[in-house]
Amino acid sequence: MKLSAAFAVLALVAHAQTSPRFEVASIHPNITATEGSVIDLPESGRLRVTNATLKTLIRAAWLVQNEQIVGGPKWLDTGRYDIEARTSGRITEAQDPPLMQNLLADRFHLKLHHETRELTVYTLLLAKNGPLFKQNSGASPSIHTNHGPGKSQIAVTGIGLHQFAAMLGKQMGRIVADKTGLSGTYDFSLVWDPDTTPDSTVPSVFAALQEQMGLRLESLKAMVDLLVIDSADRPSDN
């Protein structure tokens, strides 16, 4: 089965004159040893990145999930960076990916190529009892996660299900594609046991999705577009 719509990877823009670039970019290692990262690129064109790994930046630049990124240096998941960059004017949402892609090529010397492989993936679908969550009423987007022994929780405000599917895929270690057909932004929370045992009092992620959200996961084989990292360098501090 080909899930091209769910796993399509944006191509690099061919000509430099039509591919937007940041005019100025400052990159520094983050040494706070904190969890979580922030990538903010508003219409003003002023990028702010806090505590992001190169893999996180690649996910944002190509709109892919972790399991679609293959290879790369050992520090891909460990080196964390703060970035401040700006463009000469306002930008559109469609310009976000090429801006990020060019930044990574220019400053991290990132080189990659595309491959298609058959993988086992999950599709996120509406269950018969769903949906059981409410559409966002205008509150600002937010994501809160909490993970501990026997219990994981995600609480979100104003998030689309395609974004939630990517978050779920990161937790499960497998690509999850949103096939619910719901295109709005929503408020909801999900609580589950990532290591379900016979003595668990918290449901598995499969049961929790159906009981708390009216969603279900279906496993299948699919041809998936992957990004294969050929090489990358740590950026010079500036």
What is the C-alpha separation between 146 and 142, in angstroms, rounded?
Answer: 14
Per residue in 182-228, pLDDT (tens digit) is 999 999 999 999 887 777 789 999 999 999 999 999 999 999 999 99
Distance CA 192, CA 151 (A): 6
Query: In whole angstroms, what is the distance from residue 3 CA to residue 8 CA?
Result: 8
Lowest mean pLDDT among 17-31, 46-60, 74-88, 104-118: 17-31
pLDDT in tens, 70-121: 999 999 999 999 999 999 889 888 899 999 999 999 999 999 999 999 999 9
- Give the amino acid at 182: L
Q: What is the mean pLDDT of the chain?
A: 87
Contacts 24+ apart (CB under 8 A), 73-78: 73/229, 73/231, 73/232, 75/234, 76/229, 76/232, 77/53, 78/53
Q: What is the pTM of this model?
A: 0.74
What is the token pair recorded at 122? 């999950």
Residue with the bigger pLDDT between 120 and 35: it is: 120
The gap from C-alpha 77 to its chain's centroid, in whole angstroms, comes to 14
pLDDT at residue 145, as a whole number: 81
Sketch the domain layout of the chain as residue ranges: 4-117+225-231, 119-223
Considering only residues 233 and 38, tell me which one the structure prediction assigns the higher pLDDT: 233
Sheet holding 142-148, edge to edge: 134-135, 185-192, 151-160, 142-148
Identify which of 23, 37, 22 has the alpha carbon closest to the alpha carbon of residue 81.
37
